[in-house]
């Protein structure tokens, strides 16, 4: 069960990273960055497990601006697990990832868009007052 939870966490991290890239830069730039990561021997399937290496490659490509990508990815990951992101832009994002990972493992948290979760448990739309 623990390994399934870790794999789900890493997969969700990849999803959040990919979405962040696409929102900020668009699909062509996202695909180019995925190629750059592959050139650095980080295939898409390993992005979640090797996110520290991903951050280093992003720093090589974007310099200090890469922090925005990492920050938005980590915030998106917190949102996906319905955990409030109580950290700032300049806090240690690596520590925030590790904290969330441990919380996911200890509390057995599931991401919102996991195929094993019934989406009806999330409140959407306007609730009418009777």
Q: In which domain, by residue range, is 87 found?
A: 2-110
Tens-digit pLDDT string for the chain (130 aa) = 678 899 999 999 999 999 999 999 999 999 999 999 999 999 999 999 999 999 999 999 999 999 999 999 999 999 999 999 999 999 999 999 999 999 999 888 889 887 554 444 444 444 444 4
* Closest listed residue to residue 18, CA positions, set 33, 4, 5: 33
Give the model's pLDDT for residue 123: 44
What global pTM score does this model have? 0.83
Radius of gyration, alpha carbons of the chain:
16
Has residue 19 been placed in a domain?
yes
Number of domains in the chain: 1
CATH number for the domain that contains residue 86: 1.10.1200
Has residue 18 been placed in a domain?
yes
Angle ∠(2,8,10) on CA atoms, nearest 5: 105
d(CA 114, CA 68): 26
Has residue 15 been placed in a domain?
yes
């Amino acid at each position: 069960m623990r390994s399934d939870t870790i794999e789900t966490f890493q997969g969700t991290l990849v999803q959040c990273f990919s979405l962040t890239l696409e929102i900020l830069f668009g699909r062509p730039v996202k695909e180019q960055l995925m190629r750059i990561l592959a050139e650095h021997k980080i295939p898409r399937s390993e992005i979640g497990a090797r996110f520290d290496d991903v951050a280093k490659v992003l720093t090589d490509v974007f310099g200090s601006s890469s922090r925005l990508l990492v920050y938005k990815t980590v915030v998106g990951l917190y949102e996906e697990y319905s955990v409030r992101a109580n950290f700032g832009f300049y806090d240690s994002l690596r520590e925030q990832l590790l904290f969330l990972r441990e919380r996911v493992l200890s509390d057995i948290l599931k991401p919102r868009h996991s195929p094993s979760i019934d989406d009806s448990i999330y409140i959407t739309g306007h609730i009418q007052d009777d």
